[in-house]
Structure 1
Amino acid sequence: MAARRPATIEDVAREAGVSRQTVSNVLNSPAIVRDATRERVRAAISHLGYAPHASARRLRTRRSSTIGVHLDPYAGGISGVVLDRFVHALTEDASARGLRVLLYAARSPEEEIHRMGELMDGGDIDAVVVSGTFHGDPRTEWLVARELPFVSFGRPWGADDFDSPAHLWVDVDGAAGTRAATRFVRDRAGSRIAFLGWPAGSETGDDRERGWREAMHEAGDAGPRLVAEERVALAREVAARALQEHELDAIVCASDSLAIGAHLAAVAAGRTSLQITGFDNTPAVEALGLTSVEQLPERVAAGALDLLIGAGGAIEQRSALPGEAHVLVEPRLVVR
């Protein structure tokens, strides 16, 4: 008599009368499933003797199959929605791959290192995804030294992150985004284009400024470089002053917060047709009808997991080899 084949997640879904995703949610995020549905799925699991592959792997390897992700402190503002989308997409994608995500909070790099150490030593996590990297980041240096598998949302910002990267990373090509935005407003409005960005020294901000400079250089144009901290009110003041001092056809901005400030200044000056582009494509600029660069955080999340997970579906430590150690996501210009 042939041995009975092991039950699959599809068998459980059929038995319980739910979708495959609902079964996955019961296994990995039961709190988001209604009580009655959760009990029906668990009854089907018990009846069929279903053993989730991830659970079996955890028992066999004594690993948690869990990825630690830092939850940034709430700071208000407009552009934080991008990281929210990234964490949501990462959690959903990891669940579909039989992995779990554990969120932890920390208010500084030093506190985050301490928290990662606690989670690692307690066997709570097998890997980490860090975000907001910067040159000389002590978190990534600590992770490399501890040999904990990790990937960063953000480049190492070293001398050569592509051919000789310090670690695995995934990032958005900010320069490509502002380059596309600059070309777009030049074709639509004219060549007198300013860039409104953060103070120099922000790796992400400098990368976005580079795209504007490259597009202006290739067209033989030049424009003022405006500076403001990441606050709508400050951006409005800077843009208002620039509109008095320069004849501008457009302003390319390093973020949606800066773009909203520039938009308010343009409206106050009677320049409602001034072309302004943002970066992040948040609901706020969508409501105002402003063109913006979409970072595609769902692709970033998928790229991060692809780098962390080996061919067998398990988290593994990988070498940062040229061509295999990074994923650079090209953003999309959303025209309005």
Structure 2
Amino acid sequence: MVVATLKQVAAHAEVSVQTVSNALNAPHRLRPDTLARVNASIELLNYRPNRNARSLRTSAVELIGYCVPSWPNQTHLVMDQFLHALCAAAERTGRHILLFTAPPGVEGMPVYDDLHARRLVDGFVLSQTETRDPRHGWLKEKKIPFVSFGRVWKESTQPGAWVDVDGAAGSALAVRHLYETGRRRIAFLSWPKTSGLAEDRLDGWRSTCAELGLPTAGLAVRCREDTFAEGARATAHLLDSPEPPDGIVALSDILALGALRELTRRNLTPGRDLGVTGFDDSPLADVAAPGLTTLRQPMDEIATHLITTLTTQSHAAHLLHPTLVVRGSTAPG
């Protein structure tokens, strides 16, 4: 099959090569009738621009790399939702996502370098951000476009554009919901202190309890990892204390589902005997018995902001709010 060239499209549409280039890269510069004529020629001749040449010429972000995170011995229930939303957002703009894997931290940087050097990708969406994450500074130094889903914690200024969900506000929503259903000793299931995300959500729980005049001493339990077993262990610790809680805000759906498991093991009824909330609105939240009250992250909005921010190469920051989805695990007693 003969592949049409840019010059052939220009000749067919009776315009200059620059006009065809504008139709592809800056259509707003053309009059509607000119743009329509060029697009008709492009479609008739089945012209397909060379992605590498185009991105080199315009510094455009056409193909986007995303490193699929690895959580050893853990389950991340919302990854499928996020990947679907990210790919759909990219494809709505005529772009695509290249998925890859790499070791965490500095050890993974050669993979990013190789993908960009070989023109396999033009920019990156980052996630699973860590405290003092090395990827952002490295990409910024190399002048490789990137946007981060999640903030880099313990930094005075963020090293690049980012989109995140307000975890502290989400925890506050959960605490207030449990308070409104009559709970007065509300515990928190967290992760280790090394997680900035966990500290953000923990701060939201702590500050909201203080505003409502609720106790916090001895009611925050740090789980070693994000697993059902750790959620159950932490819940057992709380229930065996001299003053057990009547509500639990869990940092994740996984920990919350572990809490529900422990309540069931003790013949306690979630919702009636103790209210439990999660975070993520993962697929299991709706099928658990009872359904898990949880905080839903706006995945489509997150993905749209990520792609728009990256492809326009802006330095924007977007802090989005989760939505509380109420189910049976917090039904008033």
Residue of structure 2 equivalent to 1:198: 191
The residue matched to 1:195 in structure 2 has which SS? strand
How far the C-alpha of 1:104 sits from its partner, in A, is: 1.2
Residue of structure 2 equivalent to 1:257: 254
Q: Which structure 1 residue ranges, 5 or more long, are not aligned? A: 9-43, 311-315
Task: State how many pairs are aligned.
Answer: 285
Larger Rg: 2
Question: Given the alignment, which residue of 66, 69, 76 partners 1:69?
Answer: 66
Does residue 94 of structure 1 match 2:85?
no
The residue matched to 1:166 in structure 2 has which SS? coil
How far the C-alpha of 1:157 sits from its partner, in A, is: 1.8
Residue of structure 2 equivalent to 1:220: 213
TM-score by length of 2: 0.77
Q: Which structure 2 residue ranges, 5 or more long, are not aligned? A: 1-11, 24-39, 328-333
Against the structure 1 CA distance between its residues 176 and 118, is the aligned structure 2 distance closer, same or farther, given a 3 Å change threshold? same
How far the C-alpha of 1:281 sits from its partner, in A, is: 1.0
Instruction: State the distance in 2 between where 1:171 and 1:278 align.
Output: 18
Against the structure 1 CA distance between its residues 136 and 73, is the aligned structure 2 distance closer, same or farther, given a 3 Å change threshold? closer
How far the C-alpha of 1:226 sits from its partner, in A, is: 1.4
The residue matched to 1:333 in structure 2 has which SS? strand
CA contact (8 A) 1:85 1:298 kept: no
How far the C-alpha of 1:159 sits from its partner, in A, is: 4.4
- What letter is aligned with 1:183? R
Structure 1 segment 205-284 matched on structure 2, within 5 A: 205-223=198-216, 224-229=219-224, 230-245=226-241, 246-272=243-269, 273=272, 274-284=274-284
CA RMSD of aligned residues (A): 2.8
Does residue 333 of structure 1 match 2:324?
yes
Residue of structure 1 equivalent to 2:28: none
- % identity of equivalent residues: 35
Instruction: State the distance in 2 between where 1:61 and 1:285 align.
Output: 45
How far the C-alpha of 1:107 sits from its partner, in A, is: 2.5
Instruction: State the distance in 1 between where 2:58 and 2:230 align.
Output: 53
Instruction: State the distance in 2 between where 1:236 and 1:47 align.
Output: 59
CA contact (8 A) 1:152 1:168 kept: yes
How far the C-alpha of 1:241 sits from its partner, in A, is: 2.3
Residue of structure 2 equivalent to 1:30: none
How far the C-alpha of 1:248 sits from its partner, in A, is: 1.7
Residue of structure 2 equivalent to 1:39: none
CA contact (8 A) 1:64 1:123 kept: no
Against the structure 1 CA distance between its residues 48 and 189, is the aligned structure 2 distance closer, same or farther, given a 3 Å change threshold? same
Per-residue CA shift, 1:80-129, capped at 9, x if unaligned?
13233222211111111021211111132234211110011111211111
How far the C-alpha of 1:256 sits from its partner, in A, is: 0.9
TM-score by length of 1: 0.77
